[in-house]
Structure 1
């Protein structure tokens, strides 16, 4: 099978959005980044794209290089009709669990938009409780809808930038390398240097990992 070009993928995502817009008018896409790491926030973004100012190259952020994500981030911020980025910290994640923390962040992101959408498309198989507007889950939405794909890029780049800043404060954890995910190196560094306030203690406990005396 012939591999689709970036332009073809982007066109397909925008075509999906055009069908949604024809039914509902203004709508937002919502996605998150950072549900799995051992530390740092989960980052959620909501985005309303302008169909008259398309951003070419949008796709699931995981399928894009860091360089492409960075370039697309700036274009999305410049051209979107509205967007909102929300960080939900480890304290909330530990208190509410990662699913509820993510859903709460999605609700905050949508409700923080400067434009009230008629519909919210949420990446995944569930929607946040308490939304004041209609919402639909879209499985693999970041590779289906341009609006969700744009939100995934906003969330991913924002979280990566946050972790790079955290790396400057705590270089011993090499956060710039693994972005907080549970790599072998990361576990070794936790064992050596202990737990900081930016760690998700519930994650470490759940995985049966808790450095003695740290």
Structure 2
């Protein structure tokens, strides 16, 4: 399917209106998974022409994602990843866990960004960061698209490694997201230490109900519903 390549339009706007010189694109992966961390990449790209074919990672084949990630590692000015563990997601809820992962990524950069372009319409980062949210930023903004690809490839590799330890769950194929293989393994073997055991998919596992953790916040209930359906926003 044809698509418009990402541009530096938002970066140029931020430079002109705020004086920002160092601008990081930020994107996450793993929000709707049942297992594994939620991972955030922060990427600084400057205004150079992006690699051919760069776009939202969800629009790319696994092979093309891997090819682009290999190029992006040297092409970006700098990048860093931050993760929030399943335990942190269970304890904090997804919005706070996303912020934790994003702050870890941003603070791991060798330079502090003057501004951040955040994919989506919700600013889960907040002060003291200067944030510009962009719906479908992973398709339209170069820095966010780069962060999207790097985050997806790195997290998929992490989940594939976990799959070697827990071979029944198919993590190399489903990356911890809902799938028939994943669901069947949960019913047979129960959640691993890498599962988010406060999520509502646990309600369909009566044999393992004693392992479920309960979060009482309204945000948690809403996000659990998203996790049950396997959404990745």
TM-score (norm 1): 0.88
**SS at 2:87's partner residue?**
helix
Bigger mean CA offset, 88-97 vs 73-82? 73-82
Deviation digits for residues 165-211 of structure 1, max 9, x if unmatched?
011111111211222111232111111111111010011x3662234
1:13 aligned onto 2:12: no
Could you say which residue in structure 1 is the equivalent of 2:204?
Answer: 209
Residue segments in structure 2 that go unaligned for 5+ positions in a row: 212-233
Contact 2:99/2:124 (<8 A) preserved = yes
Are 2:86 and 1:90 aligned?
yes
Map 1:1-214 → 2, pairs under 5 A? 4=2, 9-10=4-5, 12-23=6-17, 24-52=20-48, 54-129=50-125, 131-203=127-199, 205=200, 208-213=203-208
TM value normalised by structure 2: 0.81
- Measured after TM superposition, the shift of residue 20 of structure 1 is 3.7
1: distance between equivalents of 2:2 and 2:11? 19
**CA contact 2:50–2:142 (8 Å) conserved in 1:** no
Report the secondary structure of 1:46's partner residue: strand
Aligned length: 207
Following superposition, the deviation at residue 71 of structure 1 comes to: 1.2
Paired residue for 2:226?
Answer: none
5+ residue gaps, structure 1: none
Contact 2:102 2:125 in 1 (8 A): no
CA RMSD of aligned residues (A): 2.0
Cα deviation 1:46-97 (Å, max 9, x = unaligned): 0000324632221010001111111111211112111111121100000011
My pick for the range that moved more, 54-63 or 127-136, is: 127-136
For the Cα contact (< 8 Å) 1:30–1:120, is it kept in 2?
A: yes
Does the residue aligned with 1:91 lie in a helix, a strand or coil? helix
SS across alignment from 1:199? coil
